[in-house]
Amino acid sequence: MTITTPLTRMLDVKHPILLAAMDLVADARLTRVVSQAGGFGILGGGYGDADWLGRELPKLVEAREASPFRFGVGFITWGLARQPELLDLTLAAKPDAVWLSFGDPEPFAGKIKAAGARLICQVQSVEMARDAVAKGADIIVAQGSEAGGHGASRGTFALVPAVVDAVGDRAIVVAAGGVADGRGLAAALMLGAQGVVLGTRLYASQEAAGHGAAKERIVAASGDDTVRGLIFDISRQNVWPAPFTGRCLVNAHAERWSGREVALMQNIATEAPRYQAAREAGDFDIAAVIAGEAAGLVREVLPAATIVTEIVETAEALLANGQGGPVSLGAV
C-alpha cells in the first residue's frame, strides 16, 4: 500500500513525508536515507555555512548518481540573503526543491524556479501563506507552534485548514509541528494538508547528525518538557525578530533564566562563552536541545527508514476507515 497525494506527485516520491530542514542536523546522510525510504529528504542549510554545504552537497550528488533519489535543500531566508552565492552553489547540485523559511522569498524565487526546482516556503500565518504563494511558492509548509525550533503562536490543528482554505489550488499545503507518528499524518491529511514535515521525530533517528545525548533527551522527554521563548537565542547572541521565538527542551539553563531574560542579556559577556562551550561539549544541561512537543511521542531512537515506514503504515490503516481530501490508497 501507499498514500498518494498531490505532494507525492509533484515531488515524485512514494510517501507524503518531508524531512524538516533542521540546521546541520539534517545532513547528507539523513537526507539521503529519508529520500531512499520513499520520503523527501531536505538538507538543513540553516543560516548558510558555506564550508558545511561544500562538504554535504557533493555527498548527495555522488549518492544520487549511484542510485537516483530526489532531495531538497533548506535555508533560513535572511541567512541566505547575506550569502546569496550559496544559492548558486546549491542549484549547481540540481536539487529538486529549495525550502525557504523566515524571510522574503521573492529575491530567490525566480532563480530557484528557473533552475527547475520547486519552491517550498514555510509559514506561520495565513497572511504569510498568501504572500508566499503570490511570490511563487509551489509548496506551503504550515508550521504550528508545537514545532521545535523557531516559529510563532498559531497551533497546527487550527492553522493548517485555515492555510488550506486561503491557498486553494494555487499551492500544495504540508503540515508541520507536533507530528511524530501515523496518527499525525492521518490527521494532517484529514485537515486538508497533502503531507507532513517530520523534525523532532527524525532528529531522534540513528542517522541524524545530532549529538547522541540530545537524542536520548528527546526520547526521555514528554510534550510538557519543552518551552518556547528567547533564552537559547539570547544565550548564543542570535535573537530573532518578532513574532518568532524558539522551542527547545527545558533544561537547567532554561530554568535558571526563565522570566529573567533581561538579566541574561545583562550577563551575556559571561553567559555566551559558557553556552558556546556547552554546545561544543554536548552539555545539554546548558545547551539547548531543539525539539518540539512531539518529543512526547518519541519512544526510542530508530533508523530513519523505519520511522518513515511505520508512520505511513499506521496512517494507511487509519485512513482506510475514512477519507481525507484528495488522498488515494493503492497497492505498490
Q: What pLDDT sits at residue 1?
A: 59
Rounded-to-10 torsion of CA 313, 314, 315, 320: 90
Please state, in angstroms and rounded to a whole number, the distance separating the CA atoms of residues 81 and 185. 33
For 121-160, write each residue's pLDDT tens digit.
Answer: 999 999 999 999 999 999 999 999 999 989 988 999 999 9
List CB contacts of 314: < 8 A, sequence separation 6 or more.
Answer: 181, 182, 183, 185, 186
Model pTM? 0.92
List CB contacts of 163: < 8 A, sequence separation 6 or more.
Answer: 123, 126, 129, 140, 142, 173
Domain ranges in the chain are: 2-208+301-324, 212-281
Q: What pLDDT sits at residue 104?
A: 94
Q: Which three cell numbers stand for residue 148?
A: 521545535
Please state, in angstroms and rounded to a whole number, the distance separating the CA atoms of residues 300 and 298. 6
Q: Is the Cα dihedral 134, 139, 145, 151 positive or negative?
A: negative
11: helix, strand or coil = helix
180-185 average pLDDT score:
97
* CATH fold for the domain made of 2-208+301-324: TIM Barrel (3.20.20)
198 in Cβ contact with 218 (< 8 Å): no
For 222-281, write each residue's pLDDT tens digit.
Answer: 989 999 999 989 999 988 888 888 899 999 999 999 999 999 999 999 999 999 999 999
150 in Cβ contact with 161 (< 8 Å): no
Place of cell 544541561: 285
Question: What is the average pLDDT value for the chain, to the nearest integer?
Answer: 93
151: helix, strand or coil = strand
For 74-96, write each residue's pLDDT tens digit.
Answer: 999 989 999 999 999 999 999 99
Nearest Cα neighbor of 311 from 166, 151, 201 is: 201
The rounded percent of the chain whose pLDDT value lies above 90 is 87
Identify which has the larger pLDDT, 303 or 325: 303
| H/E element, 276 | helix 268-281
Q: What pLDDT sits at residue 322?
A: 65
Nearest Cα neighbor of 188 from 12, 9, 3, 13 is: 3
Q: Looking at the predicted structure, is the pLDDT value of residue 187 above 50?
A: yes
